[in-house]
Structure 1
Amino acid sequence: MVLFWSVLGASIGSALLPLINIEAILAVAVSQAPSHAWGLVVAATVGQMLGKVLWYWGGMHVERAPWVNRQLQKPKAKASLDTWHERAEGRPWFTAGLLFASAFSGFPPYAVTAVLAGVLRVPMWIFLVTGTLGRGLRFWVVVYGASSILGLFS
């Protein structure tokens, strides 16, 4: 149980500070408790999404910051943001696909995508569903890979 809570906490930290590598932590955790692999995947996924929701929320409110507001008034930045609004608006499958791809692959970085989703006012449920599925699948792949390399489930 301690390992579950440790992975959950590390995952939240990793979501907020991308320098913390949750994939490496998860691989080590699974090597210590292979019978709890699915629980550790759930802990990592939930923790990541708790942290990413904070990035999303920050994106929703980033325009309130005077410096950011001034930057967004510049023609080039405004045009770029308008382009992203046009791409996302009325195209929920495109938006969901981009969020899922980022959550699963890490490209573009999911923290950046989370902020952009907040700025673009992507519905929270789309952000949560795509992020949870993408992160969960990513962590399952990490666990499966680690267990294959270490021979944990043979």
Structure 2
Amino acid sequence: MILWLTTFAFSIASALLPFLPIEVYILGAGAAEGGTAAAISLGIAAGAGATVGKVIVYEAARRGSESKWAQKKLSGPKIKASYDKWMGRMQGRPWYAAAIMFVAASVGIPPLLAMAAIGGILKMPMWAFIPTVFVGRSIRFTLLFLGVDFAIH
């Protein structure tokens, strides 16, 4: 239980602070706790923590985009054109946004930190953002934990 909570907490921190890579933590935690059940449980804990962290990034970007400073920056012609293009793609197409977010969450390309901020700025529906990030991150981290378990045991 302690390792599960530690994994959850470290994953939140890692989601907010890119210099704390969760993958390095997984190597150590996966070596300490073996077995398929543990790998799945810890993968879900890491996915849940990463989701909490990315929701914080999403909300900060969403609320920050409404500030006077951000509105001034978004009003530049080049940035406004890009913003309008992405808004046009995202509005009324939450599955498109969810697909991009899922790839970022599970594969890491584009980086999920940037995509969480972009999702907030573009006001991606939270009902699509949370499960997409949770499932994508849980799959990624579970596979990493299973890989460590397979390599060591």
Task: Give the TM-score normalised by structure 1.
Answer: 0.92
Alignment of structure 1 residues 2-151 onto 2, 5 Å: 2-35=2-35, 36-150=38-152
What is the Cα deviation at residue 38 of structure 1?
Answer: 2.0
Q: Partner amino acid for 2:4?
A: F
- The Cα of 1:148 is off from its aligned counterpart by 2.0
Cα deviation, 1:26-67, whole Å, max 9, x if unaligned, reads 221121011422221121011100100001101211223333
Where 1:34 maps in the other structure, the secondary structure is coil
Q: CA RMSD in A?
A: 1.3
Q: Distance in 2 between matches of 1:37 and 1:141?
A: 8
Unaligned 5+ residue runs, structure 1?
Answer: none
Deviation at 1:127, TM superposition (A): 0.2
C-alpha distance in structure 2 between counterparts of 1:40 and 1:71, whole Å: 41
Separation in 2, partners of 1:148, 1:81: 44
Report if the CA contact (8 A) 2:102-2:132 is conserved: yes
C-alpha deviation, 1:115, in angstroms: 1.0
Larger relative CO (CA 8 A, sep 6+): 1 or 2?
Answer: 2
Distance 1:125 1:63 in 2: 20
Structure 2: gaps (5+ residues)? none
Q: Secondary structure at the match of 1:48?
A: helix
Check conservation: 2:48, 2:134, Cα contact below 8 A. yes
- How far the C-alpha of 1:144 sits from its partner, in A, is 1.9
Query: In the TM superposition, what whole-angstrom CA distance separates every residue of 1:11-33 from its partner, at most 9, and x where no partner exists?
Result: 01000001111112122112101
Q: Distance in 2 between matches of 1:23 and 1:100?
A: 18
Q: How far off its partner does 1:145 sit?
A: 1.6
- SS, match of residue 20 in structure 2: coil
Shift of 1:81: 0.4
Q: In 2, Cα distance between the equivalents of 1:39 and 1:133?
A: 13
Aligned residues: 151
